[in-house]
Structure 1
Amino acid sequence: IPSAFPEEDDESELASFTHYLFLFACLFIITLAIFICGLVGNAIVIWFLCFIMKKNPITTYILNLAVADSCVLVTLALAISASFWDIGGVSFGLCIELFISTHVISLYLLTAISAEKCLSVVFPIWYRCHRLEHLSEIVCAFIWVMSILVFGIYHFFISTENADVDIMICVIHTINSVFCTLVVVICTVILFIKFCCSLHRRQRGKFYTALLLALLFFLIFGVPLSVIITVQYLLPDINIIMALFGVVSAVINSSVNPFIYFLIGREKTHRSREPLKVVLERVFSDKADCREDRSLPATTDSMMMTP
């Protein structure tokens, strides 16, 4: 008499496969929706910061960050496409390397933004007196040039089949995942304490809130990919689920910032729809902080003149 247990096992495996397939389809649809919204949001931010809004140190950083996040999403889309179709001879490996490089650029830019804003809050007088006029442009240009240079050196070592290339990349990603994350964590904590404990917290610009939220989302969704890349070079047999989690987290991290700007810049008291220019200017103008910075030298001078 044939046993019924094999049929029950087949039904259980089929049900389990259907369950996982359904979860994967839901994850894919949600990730695709986030991807499209993030790409559109970053494109809107880039358009407004390039052609409509007045330039300042904050908008310079945010513009470069939006470009880097857009590159992360575009290179990921190219990598997925290259894994299925031939897109002009561009290989899947090259697209993945570009995806990782642009993610690293986004990491460096957020680290630079948090470090500079932290200095402006902790040492306002020193920062006001010693900050270079075009510091934000110099920092952003340096980050892009160095990242492109490292990417070129990596491909040079690959073409010459140098055995030290994995060690070099492992060291770079270890520095990224440890040093940059540590700097961002320290700056986030300091900014949060200063923001909550400052007597002028009501006068603070909305950019502080937007920056704190962006840094928080980065620590949750941006750091995992850097950690996973580092682990991959140390342990080549990485779990595919872990790699997928890192990619999805990177998509969320590169898509969330425009929505943070829109939500923070929107006035809750206004029921009518405000123009995007007004919303973004409310976040990036940072007028309250500029008033405080302008008042600092005057206060210092008056203290020095007092007998």
Structure 2
Amino acid sequence: MAANCSWEAPSGGRNKVCPGPGEVPELQGRGFLTMEQLALLPPPAVMNYIFLLLGLCGLVGNGLVLWFFGFSIKSSPFSVYFLHLAGADGSYLLSKAVLSALNTGGFLGAFADYVRAVCRLLGLCAFLAGVSLLPAVSLERCLSVLFPTWYWRRRPRRLSAVVATLLWLLALLVTGVHNYFCVFLSRQASEVACGHMDVFLGILLFLVCCPLMVLPCLALILHVECRARRRQRSAKLNHVVLAMVAVFLVSSIYLGIDWFLFWVFQIPAPFPEYVTDLCICINSSAKPVVYFLAGRDKSQRLWEPLRVVFQRALRDGPELGEAGGGTPNTVTMEMQAAPGYPS
């Protein structure tokens, strides 16, 4: 099978070597999104330090988001989603940092293998939860902008928390089924079943989640463009949602090309797997930076408290003093005054 080919570097140059039928490695293929280090090219040693640095920095950023959105900022429908996104991204970065630390230290043995297996399961579950939360955020934001009166008056009070919980349960279920077919089944049965699960994961991510997050963003962009023609500045929350989806799409290009070429055309991935892992780590670490850049006030020369910056990133409506923003968003104020407005 083409995916089981590897590269060796003898004195005469680099040659591609494919094992025979009896030499196929125990884990077939690349193992889509399992974070098993089965790349065609082994990652350089420096990549472990890069993953460790990215993981620690991302953990600090997502930890701040968890603290401020969970304890310091008044809860809102979108802060609940951002809270769960920070939990998913932090869990993925934690698993990747632990794996990198184990690889850097060269830890071996049964306990180290057990920790690696747990980290891979945690990383896959967290990644699936994070990707599935983005369409929910995009859809809700599109509904709240295009149909504000209907959205704020008819929307169930705990909808964000319920949707986020269901998406976490879905991620746990998919991760458990994937682990069962790819790890616990016998070798011959696992080879076929795991391949089918990898195809299912690719379809779920690239053909279901991506359109569900992109189409509402396109509608949101059109709406923002129409407001711009009337010289009205869009809400910062729109910028946050659009930026998060854009960062995910850019960072998942390599992963999508990898999956499409391998599972559709049986062509070995053109990128080493550590490149796709690096893009996922960047995506998981970038969301706190997006909140900060969207919420900071350029007119403030002095350093503002992060709580104020993050709270401003959740602002729904043009700011006071902006063009077309002499008064706050009327619909938002009316909805906030309504008894059914979620706190």
Q: Which residue of 2 aligns with 1:38?
A: 58
Q: Please tell me whether residue 110 in structure 1 is matched to residue 130 in structure 2.
A: no
**Is 1:144 paired with 2:173?**
no
Q: 1:81 to 1:201 in 2, by over 3 A?
A: farther
User: Match of 2:243?
Assistant: 213
Q: Measured at CA, do residues 297 and 29 of structure 1 come closer, stay the same or move farther in structure 2, by a change above 3 Å?
A: closer
1:173 aligns with 2:193: no
Q: Residue 90 of structure 1: SS of its match in structure 2?
A: helix
Displacement of 1:91: 5.2
CA distance in structure 2 between the partners assigned to 1:291 and 1:217 by the alignment: 31
Q: Residues of 1 paired with 2:335 and 2:61: CA distance?
A: 36
The range that moved more, 142-151 or 93-102, is 93-102
Give CA deviations for 1:230-288 in whole Å, capped at 9, x if unaligned: 65556777448331221111011001110111111111111111111111111124255
Calculate the aligned-residue CA RMSD, in Å: 3.2
- 1:250 alignment partner in structure 2: 280
Q: Partner of 2:252: helix, strand, or coil?
A: helix
Equivalent residue letter for 2:147? F
Measure the CA separation in 1 of the matches of 2:270 and 2:200.
Answer: 23
SS of equivalent residue, structure 1 residue 126: helix
- Aligned residues with identical type, % of pairs: 28
Give the match's secondary structure for 2:97: helix
Deviation at 1:169, TM superposition (A): 3.5
CA contact (8 A) 1:174 1:230 kept: no
Contact 1:45 1:63 in 2 (8 A): yes
Higher gyration radius (CA): 1
Q: Distance in 1 between matches of 2:261 and 2:101?
A: 26
Which deviations, in whole Å up to 9, do the C-alpha atoms of 1:169-202 show, x marking residues without a partner?
Answer: 3213222122211222212222122112226774
Greater mean deviation of Cα atoms: 171-180 or 234-243: 234-243
In structure 2, C-alpha distance between the alignment counterparts of 1:227 and 1:130, rounded to whole Å: 41
**Gaps spanning 5+ residues in structure 2: where?**
1-10, 14-43, 319-327, 338-343
Task: Spell out, residue by residue over 1:36-60, the C-alpha distance to the aligned partner (whole angstroms, 9 max, x if none).
Answer: 3222111111111112111111110
State how far apart, in whole Å, the 2-side matches of 1:61 and 1:114 are.
10
Query: Normalization by structure 2: what TM-score?
Result: 0.70
Deviation at 1:296, TM superposition (A): 7.6
Contact 2:51–2:97 under 8 Å retained in 1: no
Query: Could you tell me how far apart the structure 2 residues matched to 1:78 and 1:118 are?
Result: 37
What's the counterpart of residue 85 of structure 1? Answer: 107
Q: What is the CA distance between 1:32 and its match in structure 2?
A: 5.0
Cα 1:227–1:78, aligned 2, differ >3 Å: closer, same or farther? farther
What TM-score do you get using the length of structure 1 for normalisation?
A: 0.78
